[in-house]
Each structure stands twice: as C-alpha cells, then as structure tokens.
Structure 1
C-alpha cells in the first residue's frame, strides 16, 4: 500500500513544466494603410480567400484551382505537412505507457561444470524453456520534458501548415501572373497585326503614288521597311506566347504545350474589380503565411528551451512485467509458472562534460534568432504591402494617361494619312505618327498587363489566403 501511494505521489509531480511559456507576439504595424488608389475605387474589408475571383476571368480561376491540386510543389508541401503530423503522433506517444508482449521457446543443455543450471539436471540432458511476458513502462514527466517536445511538435505542424499555405499562395500568384502575361502578349500580337495591316495599306498607297509619278522611291522604301519592322516583331511575340503556355503547363504538372489548344485563342487581359481589398494592418499577421511560419518557428524554439532545461533534472520511469515461465509447455500459464516485477527506475545526470549547458545555451540562442527573424519578416511584409499599394496606384494613373495618348495618336494618324493623300505632307510624317501610335498602343497593353499584375502582387503582399480545409 505504501509503495502504491508513493508511486501515485511521484506521478502527480508530472504537472510541473520548466522553461518559458510561449507568448504570442504582437507585431508593430500601422493602425491603417496609407492607401492612395485611383479615384472611383473602393477599399474592401479584406482580401477574399479566393482572391483570384476578383480578376473576373473564369479561365484564370480554373487554372488556379487546378494548379492547387496538381502542382508538384504544392503536393510536396502537403506531404511534408502529413510528415509533421506523423512526427507529432510519434512524439506524443511518449506521454503514454508503452506496453509490449512477447514469448520464447528454447531447447538447450546447461554445462555440468558451469555457474548456473536452470534445469537442475546437472547438465546431463537437454531441456526446454517456455516463456511468455507482458511488459509495461512509462516515463513520469516530472519536469515537462515530454510535454515540451510535444508542444514543439505541435508548433512544427503549424509551421509546415504555414509553409504549405505559402506555397499555395505563391503558386496561385504565379499562375495568375503567367496567365495575365500571356493575355498581355496575345494583346500585343493583335496590336502588331493591326499595325501591320495599316503599314501594308500605306505600302500599297506609296506604290500607287510612285507608279503615278507623284512621289519618289524613298516613300516606297520607307513604307516597305515599316512593314518588315512590324513583321519582325511577330515571331518574337509568338515565342513568348508559347513559353508562357509552357510555364502554365508546368505549374499544372502537365507536359510542354499541353495547354496550347486551351490557351492559344486570344482573350482580353483580366480586369480587376474596383474594390481594393486592403483590410486592416492588424490582420496581416493572421493572413501572411510567412509571418505565421516565423511565429510557429518562434514557438517551437521556445518549447525547445523547456525540453533542454528538463534534461538537467532526474528522470523517473515506472516499469512492470507480468509473465509465465516453465520447463514444460503444458505448465505454461499455470498459477505456479507465474512471475512478475514492478518498480521505478531513476536517471540522474551528474557530469556530462558541458553537454547539457551547451545545449541549453544553443536553444536560447536559437530562440533569440527566431524572435529576430519574426520581427524581420513582419517589417518586410509591411514594406511589401506599402510598395504594392504605391505601385498599383501609380500604374493605374499611368494607364489612364496612355489611354488618352492612344486616342490622340489614332486621330493624328488618320489626319496624317489624309494630308499625305492630298500632298500636303511627306510620307515620313505619316511613318512618324504610325510609329508613335504603335509605341503607345504597345505601352497601353503593357500597362493594362501591369495593372493586373500589380493587383496580384497586392493580393500576395496582403497574404491573400486559400480556403481552409
């Protein structure tokens, strides 16, 4: 009875846990974003989990969702998350008693001149030995060493979950960016083809005027050179188009050009919804996977300090064994064949050559590093959001100015062609206006592409998340 009470009292000491408890950090962030967006837009409460829907392109949404399932980086990150859960299961098993059973059969003969003869036959004949046992052992977690290891394993699950969320966000953003760039290249191809048609019409016009003796071959050479210059652009743009289709195919885990038939037909550049999902700065720590990851790493490092401190204290394990042993198989399991044992075992570190103190100092340094890294990541996220807001607003203004430039250059080209037909200006003036139109049209396409890309970067900077499963 006294032994049982002593063991219960010993087990009750397991409530003690050494080392610092983790306290969730409160990052320093502004009270509100200094947002400067184009007039006419509104600020949404926060980025939707399915933020790509805000780009208003069903085909893009389909590609993002397919990439989330088929992309190899996502699948690898998901596998690592499952690995961390298995590690947590293995680590958590230390909190419970370990029970095992076994049995053995041996036929042997003892020495007649040896120290021990279990058969009592003085080594004159062989004998059989039958055994069956059930063993149990449990470490009494007096100082929380096991609990701290479990806590670290839980933090590691949070870390790998954040890593997986980060990969999902990156793949979604990369898929959206490649798709937007593809539609931008296709739009530039259409602009080049339209300008090629105009250049060919100009070339026919100068040939007719040359044949009628109205102009010189300088105009025909200039117009032919303009046609060749525009034609030279087309294969470069086509190569970029197919490279982007390949990039999207890779993101979806497909072979090269697997999406060619699906994406070759030109479509308009995705146009973002007018709502800008900035949300509150305080949400950033809960939304951005890199901040969540660094917080989990800090939690894991803090728990590791407790485990290192617990190594300085004694470890007590409780063990028990119940079994049966007999020289005849028919006696195995009878009351007289029973054997049992139970009792505690003690491990006390006395001299470890500085291993324990070194390990503790290492864990404390690692925790300091994790804390500094958390601050660095938060500050970097703040900068990234601020830059994304600024770039998005600036590109919107740039796009509006280019729209006006294209409109004016289109009017100027029509006027120049009419005046050339009337003989009022030289053809070189027509070429100059057409070059200006082609340049501003190409810039406008680039700007429309950049507006959509900057919106994706803004979603990514704000931690545009993924629906939690």
Structure 2
C-alpha cells in the first residue's frame, strides 16, 4: 500500500470528524435587571473595569504600596504560576492530537527449530498508536484544557483585583488607626489633667472621694483605649506587610488625611448584564463551564470506534554490520480499530460524571453571578447612605464638643456635679471615635465599589 495514499485517506477522515460536545450557550443571569440604589451616571464616565488603578487612586502612598504588592505578593505570584501550569497541561493535551515521531533502533535474536539463531536489526522512524480523532475526543479534551488556561488567567486577574483593594483598604485602616491613636492620646492627656485637678480638690476637701474615683475611672478607661488602639495598629500594619510581601518601606509618601480619602472618582454602575460578565471571577466560572461542556463531548466519543495507526520506516537487516547499507530499506503499517462492546458501564459512568460536572459548573457560574450582584448592591447601598451618615456624625461631634465645653464650665462654677461633666467627656470621645470609623468606612466602601465593579486588574496605561 502506498504510504501517500494512506496519509491522504487519514487527512480526509480527520477533516470530516464530528464534534459530539453540546452546543454551548451562556446561562441566563439569575439576578434582577437593575442594581438597587444605582444612580444615573454620565455616559462619558469611564467604567471601573476600564479604569487603571493608578488613575483611580489619588493617594500617592496608596499607589506606592499597591505597586509593591503587585511586585511581591505571594498569592499573586502563585496565581501567575498556576497559569503556566495550566498552559503546560494544555500543551500536553494538544500534543495528543498529533502523531509522535520517534527514532528507534531495535534488535532481536531467536532460536530456530533447526538449532540456529535468527537475528533482526531495525533502525528508522516510528509512529506508535496515533489516534485518528474521528469523533472529536482529543479535540474536546484539548478545548477543555484551553478553557482551563483562560480560567486560570481570569483567576489571576481576580486575585489582582482583590489585592489592589485589600492594600488600599489596609492603608485606610492604618490611617484610621493613626488618627484614632492621636485622638486617644489627646484624650488621655486631657483626662490626666482632669485627674490631677480633682486630686488637688480632694486633698483640699473641695471634692468628694466619689469625684476622685470617677476621674480615676475615666483616666484608666483612656489608658485602656490607648493600649487597644496601639495593638490594633500593630495588627493592621502586620496585615499590610503580608499583602505587600515585605516589610513596610521606611520612606513612603505622606498619607492623605482620612477625611479627604473618600474623594475618589465617581464610578458609573451600568446594567448587571453588562457589568457582571466583565468581572474576572464570573468569567473564570464561565470558562470552567465551557471546559465541563467540552468534557461531555470527549465522554460521548468514548462510545464510538477508536482508530489508531502504528507505522515505521527505515532499515532492516539480519546482521548488525549490514544495517545501514543500501538495499535494506523496510517499512510497516499497522492500523487498529477498537469498538467498545462491554465495559461494565465504565463509559456510561464517565458520561454521567461529565454531565453532572457540567451541571455543577452551571450552578457555580450562576452563584458567581449572584454573589457579584450582591457585592455590587451592598457597595451601592453604602455609597447611598454613608455620606449622609458621615455628615450627621460630624454635626453630632460638634454638638458633643459644645456640650463638653459647657459641662466643664458648669462644673468649674459649681453649677453641676462632676458626673455630668464625666458623661459629657465620655460622649465626646465616643463621637470622635465614631466619626473616624465612619470616615474610614466611607473611603473603604468607595474602594470596595471599584473592586466589585471589576476595577483593578488592568496594568497601568504606561506599561500597556
């Protein structure tokens, strides 16, 4: 048989092979058509998914820390290496669709019935068990591996999005700790002065021991708060160092004041059908669904005949010394067709498993959509209410400052008891703490909205 005719027939059969995988259709998003509390935005505003993190963040300290994290964070490094691993696996799957050509040298010696020895030596090129992919089994396995590569790339983007937001929020938490520590230390100093004054009044008989013990309680409460805030700041700094993948540099740009940190660009929201499918975690779930869909085609192909080709071409001789002399050429061609008849339900079980995995992937994709919708809705709810809450808390602090000043004047003039002054001091400190926490929460909510809308995975425009 002419080898050229064989190769031509094989090519024709490959060109006509079928694909048994189901037609892929993106599942309908199981969420509402609109985000709640989504205000209208200008059409010219850049969507979060297209906005570089360097253009979104205005604090130079945050930018420096994010850049360090993108260079050194180990989770991001692992995600990048996972891409390389899945690419290597895809290359292996893709290689299965092509013949493997080997150079071989073999020799055999067997005794004959007459008492002699038959020898055979061969050298040449060999193709072993090359499968003609008539029913798309290898193609579907290769397509599934390629989809996993895309899923790993989306996973890396998702890790970067989370990292950018986590570093920005950690820096805001650290800035809030610094502000709170400053306020707490000021409060401690003020209460130390008050305690000394009450102690002098008690020693001179002008104040009761109850006033002294109340002042002492207020003083120790402030010391407890200083210790708590100092410890929390150390914990937040350790968390930031972990995100950076290194210790915090000694020289960093000065942080933006906490009350101005929330002044980030206003982001458009858009429709869920447009926003959510651009999030890397949703796209990762979709690629995993595509891979599961392709695996069904590979499982279906296992029910059909499998044709493999084995062949060789080279030199053959009964004497090793004559192996490479002219006139000793040889070739062989051994096609094989295998049709499954009885496998105790193995192929059916593999098909059922592939279908179940596809259904699981559909549910995971729908869950990813719903989770993304909820995260955006939560961030929008924060944007709609935190501003008014922050303004109200600022007015409350002003009222408590005036109340504390008046209570102190009344106490010093003997018009009220020390208990009234003590209560005003406690309320003032609580209002100061609440305002700082709200300022940090408002800024962190703006960062979170940027994250859940799919922003933060793009590299800076200059590097692109």
Indicate whether the TM-score tops 0.5: yes
State which drifts further: 138-147 or 209-218. Answer: 209-218
Q: Of the candidates 234, 239, 257, which is equivalent to residue 268 of structure 1? A: 257
Cα gap change, 1:301 to 1:327, in 2 (>3 Å) = same
> Helix, strand or coil for the counterpart of 1:322?
strand
- Cα 1:307/1:206, change in 2 over 3 Å: same
Aligned mates of 1:346, 1:277 — CA distance in 2 = 60
With normalisation by structure 1, the TM-score equals 0.86
Check the 8 A contact 1:186/1:266 in 2, yes or no. Answer: no
Counterpart for residue 348 of structure 2: 357
The alignment covers a number of residue pairs equal to 454
Which digits, 9 at most, give the CA deviation of each residue in 1:178-217, with x for residues without a partner?
A: 2222221221111111212322333344455556765445
Q: Identify the residue that residue 370 of structure 2 maps to in structure 1.
A: 379
Q: TM-score, normalised by structure 2?
A: 0.87
User: Paired residue for 1:323?
Assistant: 314
Give the 5 Å matches for 1:98-117: 98-104=100-106, 111=111, 113=113, 117=117
Alignment of 1:334-345 (within 5 A): 334-345=325-336
CA distance in 2: counterparts of 1:36 and 1:278, whole angstroms: 7
Q: Taking structure 1 as reference, are residues 198 and 247 closer, same or farther at Cα in structure 2, changes over 3 Å only?
A: same
Q: Distance in 1 between matches of 2:115 and 2:363?
A: 65
Query: CA, structure 1 residues 350+211, in 2 after alignment: closer, same or farther (shift >3 Å)?
Result: closer
Correspondent of 1:24 among 4, 26, 37: 26
- Tell me, yes or no, if the aligned pair for 2:72 and 2:244 is still in contact at 8 Å: yes
- State the partner residue of 1:176: 168
Preserved CA contact (<8 Å) 2:262 2:446: no
Question: What per-residue deviation string (whole Å, max 9, x for no partner) do you get for residues 285-318 of structure 1?
Answer: 3332221121111101110111111111112233
> 2:442 aligned with 1:451, yes or no?
yes
Q: Using the alignment, how far apart are the partners of 2:42 and 2:418 within structure 1?
A: 44
Is this contact kept in 2: 1:41–1:274, CA < 8 A?
no
Distance 1:285 1:222 in 2: 56
Q: Evaluate the alpha carbon distance shift between residue 115 and residue 266 of structure 1 in structure 2; reply closer, same or farther with a 3 A threshold.
A: same
Residues 115, 7 of structure 1: CA spacing in aligned structure 2 closer, same or farther, 3 A cutoff? Answer: farther
Deviation at 1:41, TM superposition (A): 12
Partner of 1:150: 142
Comparing 438-447 with 224-233, greater Cα deviation is found at 224-233
Q: Cα distance 1:40–1:373, how it changes in 2: closer, same or farther (>3 A)?
A: closer
| CA RMSD across the alignment | 3.1
Q: Is contact 2:174-2:236 (8 Å) kept?
A: yes
Corresponding position of 1:191: 183
Matches within 5 A, 1:253-292: 253-254=245-246, 258-259=247-248, 261=250, 268-269=257-258, 270-292=261-283
SS in 1 for 2:102: strand
Q: Which residue of 2 aligns with 1:125?
A: none
**Structure 1 stretch 55-64 or stretch 356-365: which is displaced more?**
55-64
Cα offset, 1:284, TM superposition: 2.7
What's the counterpart of residue 438 of structure 1?
Answer: 429
Partners of 2:353 and 2:52 in 1: CA distance: 42
Matches within 5 A, 1:39-438: 44-47=45-48, 48-51=50-53, 54-104=56-106, 111=111, 113=113, 117-118=117-118, 130-137=121-128, 138-207=130-199, 209=201, 214-254=206-246, 258-259=247-248, 261=250, 268-269=257-258, 270-438=261-429
CA positional deviation for 1:334: 2.0
Question: 2:404 & 2:395 partners in 1: Cα distance?
Answer: 14
2:11 is aligned with 1:11 = yes
Contact 1:43–1:278 (Cα < 8 Å) also in 2: no
Question: Which of 184-193 and 7-16 deviates more?
Answer: 7-16
Q: CA deviation at 1:20?
A: 1.3
Judging changes above 3 Å, is the alpha-carbon distance between structure 1 residues 30 and 153 closer, same or farther for their aligned structure 2 residues? same
Q: Describe the SS at the equivalent of 1:295.
A: helix
Give how far 1:155 is off. Answer: 0.8
Task: Tell me the secondary structure at the aligned position of residue 275 of structure 1.
Answer: coil
- How far does residue 68 in structure 1 lie from its aligned partner after superposition? 2.3
Judge conservation of contact 1:159–1:294 (CA < 8 Å) in 2.
yes
Task: List per-residue Cα deviations over 1:156-192 (Å, max 9, x = no partner).
Answer: 1112122222222222232223222222122111111
Q: Output the CA distance in 1 between the equivalents of 2:238 and 2:7.
A: 67
Unaligned segments of structure 1, at least 5 residues: 120-128
Distance in 2 between residues matched to 1:387 and 1:35, nearest whole Å: 9
Q: Write the distance in 1 (CA, Å) between the matches of 2:418 and 2:229.
A: 28
Q: Does the CA contact (< 8 Å) of 1:388 and 1:457 recur in 2?
A: yes
Structure-2 separation of matches of 1:90 and 1:28: 37
In structure 1, what is the Cα distance between the partners aligned to 2:293 and 2:41? Answer: 48
**Range with greater deviation from structure 2 (447-456 or 263-272):** 263-272
Kindly indicate whether the alpha-carbon contact (under 8 Å) linking 1:199 and 1:223 is maintained by their aligned counterparts in 2. yes
Which piece of structure 1 moves more, 88-97 or 414-423? 414-423
Would the aligned equivalents of 2:312 and 2:333 in 1 still touch at CA under 8 Å? yes
